[in-house]
Amino acid sequence: MTVYLVGAGPGDPDLLTVKGAEVLRRADVVVYDRLSVASLLDMAPPSAERIGVGKTPGHPSVPQEEINELLVARGREGKEVVRLKGGDPFVFARGGEEAQALLDAGVSFEVVPGITSAVGVPAYAGVPLTYRGKSTSFTVVTGHEDPWAATETDWEAVARVGGTIVILMGVATRAAIAERLIAGGLAADTPVAAVRWGTRPEQRTVRTTLGQLGGLEIEAPVTMVVGAVAELDLRWFESRPLFGRRVVVTRAREQASELVDLLQRLGAQAIELPAITIGEPDDGGAGLWESASSLRRGDFEWIVFTSANSVDRFCALLRDARDFGTTKVAAIGPGTGAALARFGIEADLVPDRFVAESLVEAFPSGEGRLLLPRAAVARDVLVDGLGAKGWAVTVVEAYRTRPAEPSPSTLAEARKADAITFTSSSTVTNFLQVAGADAVPPVVVCIGPITAATARDAGLTVDVVAEEHTIDGVVDALASALSQR
How would you class 418 by CB atoms within 10 Å of its CB: exposed for 0-12, middle for 13-18, buried for 19 or more?
Answer: buried
Residue 169 annotated to the active site: yes
The Cα-based distances of 58 to 136, 203, 209, 219, 279 in angstroms read 43, 24, 34, 17, 39
User: How would you label 454-485 residue by residue, b for 16+ Cβ within 10 Å and e otherwise?
Assistant: bbeeeebebbbbbebbbbebbbbbbbebbeee
Cβ 475 vs Cβ 263: under 8 Å:
yes
Residue 221, preceding peptide bond in cis (omega within 30° of 0)? yes
The one catalytic residue in 169, 224, 312, 463 is 169
Q: Pick the catalytic residue: 14, 19, 42, 55?
A: 55
Sheet strand arrangement including 164-168: 138-142, 164-168, 222-226, 191-196, 204-209
CB 260, CB 39: distance < 8 Å: no
466 closest CA partner among 432, 419, 430 = 419
Residue type, 421: T
Known active-site residue 55:
yes
Q: Name 6's bridge partners.
A: 84, 112
SS3 sequence, 103-134?
A: HHHCCCEEEECCCCHHHHHHHHCCCCCCECCC
Q: What are the residues whose beta carbons fall under 8 Å from the beta carbon of 479, sequence distance 6 or more?
A: 241, 242, 266
Distance, in Å, from the CA atom of 443 to the CA atom of 247, rounded to the nearest integer, reads 9
Query: Which residue of the set 12, 33, 312, 323 is catalytic?
Result: 33
Mapping DSSP to helix (H, G, I), strand (E, B) and coil, where does residue 336 land?
Answer: helix
CA proximity to 473, closest of 334, 271, 336: 334
Measure the CA angle with vertex 377, ends 372 and 380; round to 5°. 55
> 389 an active-site residue?
no
CA distances (Å), 466 to each of 414, 419, 463, in order? 21, 14, 10
Phi and psi at residue 457, in whole multiples of 5°?
Answer: -60, -25
Which residues, other chains included, contact 393 with Cβ-Cβ below 8 Å and sequence gap of 6+?
370, 372, 382, 383, 386, 387
Number of Cα atoms under 13 Å in the Cβ half of residue 289: 6
The helix or strand, by DSSP H or E, that contains position 400, with its residue range, turns out to be strand 392-403
Q: Which amino acid is at 385?
A: G
Positions marked active-site: 33, 55, 169
